[in-house]
Amino acid sequence: MQWEKLLNYNRLNEHEREFDEARNPFSIDFDRIIFSDSFRRLDRKTQVHPMRSNDNVHSRLPHSLEVSCVGRSLGTLVGAQIKDLPAHMNPDRVGQIVQAACLAHDIGNPPFGHMGETIIGSWFEEHGAKYFDAVKPELQSDFIHFEGNAQAFRIMTRLAMYRDNGGLRPTYAVIAAMMKYPWIYQENIKKFCCFSSEREILDDIAAKAGLEGADGMYKRHPLAYLSEAADDICYSIIDLEDAYEMGILRFTEVKEILNAICELPEQKLEGKSPKESMEYMRAIAINKCVGAVVNEFFANYEAIMDGTLHYKHNLLENSAYKEPISQAKKTGNDVIYQNRRKLMLEVGAYNVMGILLETFCDAAFEYVSADKPKDKTQHIIKIMGDHAPSKKDDVFTALHRVTDYISGMTDNYATEKARQITGI
């Protein structure tokens, strides 16, 4: 792979242009994401703790902003060491590419966080048969294996702004740097970045950004390793801080993990409250992790650039701080994510999402299949607004419009809609 193509500043579905020095295309990508309604709704979507009552605890929106800041630092530092950047590029612009990619990384997440993804996939696996006679088997994975990364790609390239004509029309560099898993669903690979519905768009981006590959399995863009690392740094460290805020972890537990990265003498925390101490350690830990990830990137530079580094090679988990990061993630999996309040709300999320999926999928299926849909069905279709299927849509397209609609909901909106539908 060559940086000249990897840093392609031209836009999806637009003609080629000269590079604008006054307002470069990557900063425009950032602005378009910030002003999109899909990004705005992340403020009411779960990061870890559903329906949070404590405003200091992260939702998807501040998480995405923080990841974008860390991503900018990673991109800038890496850009400063790349010797063959194209003439129009500099380290700051490399940082802007990663910043924009990171800003959009969770834009496709449904309500209730990763649990929402699981619920959508499980629901279609259990209830999808009544629709799937009209959907080709190779397309059914879009629903049975619903994936927030693929929904983010769909929003960025199809649904937002220029609907069905390029979406936000991102630069090839930014959308490629966002794609952690540049392929459609594969039987033996858990993650993917693109639904079958956007396969041709993926092929176009891979060609324009120089992500060589075969059979839809493309090489990962080098900057996608940095986008992934920025996300990992933030959630590994900040989930601990949120857990303290929620009363799930004690200060001493958080301090032990963070100080394994910070290595601070005790006197550095003297006179500071637990909250002040955590904020201080968090800043130092993030800064040290950023440096460690940059070192790991260049330790694997040749393999990254020729596409032979396995996509599962996580730069943070293989860095100098792999032990404390491993402990942070283990604490998350064993303690934070098993919190009783969180689990109880996730049980409720199954009911909420089940009600919405059954109601809107049944209506969409009938609307595109029946000559004269029932009045109730037509009411439900009108509720979907811009996401409503048209009579000319096939079942595959209609079901995607339903998942577009439901995955775009916030936690609160989804809960309220389910209450209205059930008459509670």
pLDDT digits (tens, 9 = 90+) for 181-239: 999 999 888 899 999 999 999 999 999 999 988 777 899 999 999 999 999 999 999 99
15: exposed, middle or buried (Cβ count in 10 Å: 0-12, 13-18, 19+)? exposed
Q: How many CB atoms lie within 10 A of CB 47?
A: 24
pLDDT of the residue at 424: 64
pTM, rounded to two decimals: 0.95
pLDDT of the residue at 39: 96
pLDDT of the residue at 423: 85
pLDDT tens digits along 151-167:
999 999 999 999 999 99
Q: Distance (Å, rounded) from C-alpha 221 to C-alpha 211?
A: 7
As averages over each run of 10 residues, the pLDDT of the chain (424 residues) reads: 96 90 92 96 85 80 96 98 94 98 97 93 96 96 97 97 95 98 91 96 96 85 98 95 91 94 91 93 96 98 95 95 94 88 87 97 97 95 96 97 97 94 83
Q: Distance (Å, rounded) from C-alpha 171 to C-alpha 209?
A: 10
pLDDT of the residue at 190: 83
Do the Cβ atoms of 329 and 243 come closer than 8 Å?
A: no
Do the Cβ atoms of 60 and 29 come closer than 8 Å?
A: no
- Residues near 278 by beta carbon (within 8 Å), at least 6 away in sequence: 240, 241, 244, 251, 254, 255, 258
Do the Cβ atoms of 328 and 237 come closer than 8 Å?
A: yes
Rg over alpha carbons for the chain, rounded to the nearest Å, is 22
338: exposed, middle or buried (Cβ count in 10 Å: 0-12, 13-18, 19+)? exposed
Do the Cβ atoms of 157 and 193 come closer than 8 Å?
A: no
Give the pair of three-digit tokens for residue 237: 């460290």
**Residue found under tokens 């604008």:** 20
pLDDT tens digits along 282-293:
999 999 999 999
Q: Distance (Å, rounded) from C-alpha 213 to C-alpha 197?
A: 19
Give the pair of three-digit tokens for residue 258: 């963070």
Q: Distance (Å, rounded) from C-alpha 327 to C-alpha 195?
A: 34
Residue type, 385: G
